[in-house]
Chain A
Amino acid sequence: MTSHSLFSAFLSVVRRDLLLAYRHRSELVNPLAFFVMVVSMFPLAVGADVELLRRIAPGVIWVAALLASLLSMDAIFRSDFEDGSLELMVMTPHPLSVLVLAKVVAHWLLSGMPLLLITPLLALMFDIDVDVIWVLLLTLLLGTPVLSLIGAIAVALTVGLRKGGVLLAILVLPLYVPVLIFASAAVDSAASGLPISGQLYMMSAILFLAITLTPWPTAAALKMSLG
């Protein structure tokens, strides 16, 4: 198999998943609505003190993004597993890890990127400065793909189980810790006018590590779930 056909296989997987999502476009709003709702719960819980809200906003938005990503994650392999398309994807001459990466890319475009689009709105609700909003968006841009990549491993491990929901969260949340720490710290530092390049370098390093490393265990886990 040539690299050209591998690339076109990659693209056709992305295209297929986007097309499938387009056929169910009403469902795309759900994780987004969840994200907004979780964030809106916090002022109700801790009070409307603007100072306090501004201080906790980066953490709140990031935790909500984590949960929204987790919630939408389960769907990434579920339907392919149930209708047998996953078996056929394993049985192609292309490395499964590449096709898995394509699925994660499609999934991120559908569930991670929309979070970026709605975040400025939420940030305004918490009275975050415009400069800081840019940093927040940058951390989401670097961080949410990592969430999808790591989440895919856990979904692949649990896709064969009838009740995977809570287990998925238990498997994935500890692995999300570094992203959460660096991302919210970057936003925090930006808000107090401190340099943030260190955090952003760390996040970029984690992103590249995740892109290169996570497709392998995900592919192995999918084969295990099918076997």
Chain B
Amino acid sequence: MNTPLFFEARQLACIRDDRVLFSGLDFEVNGGQVLLIEGPNGSGKTSLLRILTGLRNPDDGELFWCGSAVSELEAAFYQDVAYVGHMNGMKDDLSVEENLKFAQALAIAALGIDDSLRKVGLDGYQTTSIRFLSAGQRRRLALARLLCTRKHLWILDEPFTSLDKASIKMFENYIEDHVAEGGIVIMTSHHDTGLPSKIVKKIELQS
């Protein structure tokens, strides 16, 4: 990654059902950093992440990707951003390989499918239908999706849900690798992360 990346939020506000979840939220996160969003249930973590992905419009404020307003970038922004939400975004009736191929077709391919599956410990599952995967395996497949497409900004909503300790460790390693290459990760997590504190930046949402 040649140019240093940075992602900036200015005066973000989110109102849900007439309730102000947060307002006047500012932050900046640079290439090489993980932004960890903390806060109790219902404090608007998921809403914030959805605003950062552009899926939801902020009720106030603006986002800037490498200096340009996200609202004007749209396509160029989505070339760089990947999102793992509560749902994995995989079709139950397609095989592991078919799902990843589709993800690659809509983005810029990075790692090969077999390689990414090997890295998340799902090698040999290529032709298995998603329907037959466990919740943890599906989560690992979502990680494989991150690895097989070239995206600089990862936005992860509770990525460690239903993962065992070893898998969490593995996921964290890949997050570290991604950041070490100059990428940015923005995530929420209920678990304490084992990520080294020097790369982690935290913001806390109040309820």
Contact = CB atoms under 8 A, between A and B. Distances in A.
> In the complex, is A directly touching B at CB under 8 Å?
yes
B91 interface: yes
Contacts, number: 78
Contact of A23 (B54, B81, B85, B93): B93
A227 B57 contact: yes
A79 B91 CA distance: 8
A91 B82 CA distance: 8
Interface stretch (B72-80, B120-128, B158-166, B196-204): B72-80
Interface residues of B, number: 30
Q: Which 3 A-B pairs have the closest CB atoms?
A: A84-B87, A84-B89, A12-B105
B56 interface: yes
A5 to B, nearest CB: 8
Contacts of A84: 85-90
A86 to B, nearest CB: 8
Given A87-B89, A93-B76, 19 more contacts: A1-B75, A8-B105, A9-B105, A12-B105, A16-B102, A23-B93, A24-B93, A79-B91, A82-B87, A83-B89, A83-B90, A83-B92, A84-B87, A85-B91, A90-B55, A91-B81, A94-B75, A94-B106, A227-B56
Interface of B: 50, 53-57, 75-76, 78-79, 81-83, 85-94, 98, 101-103, 105-107
B88 A12 contact: no
Contacts of B81: 91
Contacts of A8: 105
15 contacts: A12-B106, A20-B91, A23-B94, A79-B91, A83-B88, A83-B90, A87-B83, A87-B85, A88-B89, A88-B103, A89-B106, A91-B54, A91-B78, A94-B75, A227-B57
Interface size class of A (residues with CB under 8 A): 20 to 34
Interface majority SS on A: helix, strand, loop or mixed?
Answer: helix
Interface in A77-117: 79, 82-85, 87-95, 99
Given A12-B102, A88-B103, A89-B106, A227 B55 contact: yes
A84 B98 CA distance: 16
A124 interface: no
Contacts of A99: 106
Nearest to A16: B102
Nearest to B101: A12
A95 B79 CA distance: 12
Interface majority SS on B: helix, strand, loop or mixed?
Answer: loop
Given A12-B106, A19-B94, A87-B55, A93 B89 contact: no
A95 B75 contact: yes
Which of A24, A87, A89, A95 has most B Cβ within 10 Å? A87
A92 B106 contact: yes
Which of B50, B53, B75, B91 has most A Cβ within 10 Å? B91
Contacts of B94: 16, 19-20, 23
Contact of B91 (A9, A12, A83): A83
A226 interface: yes
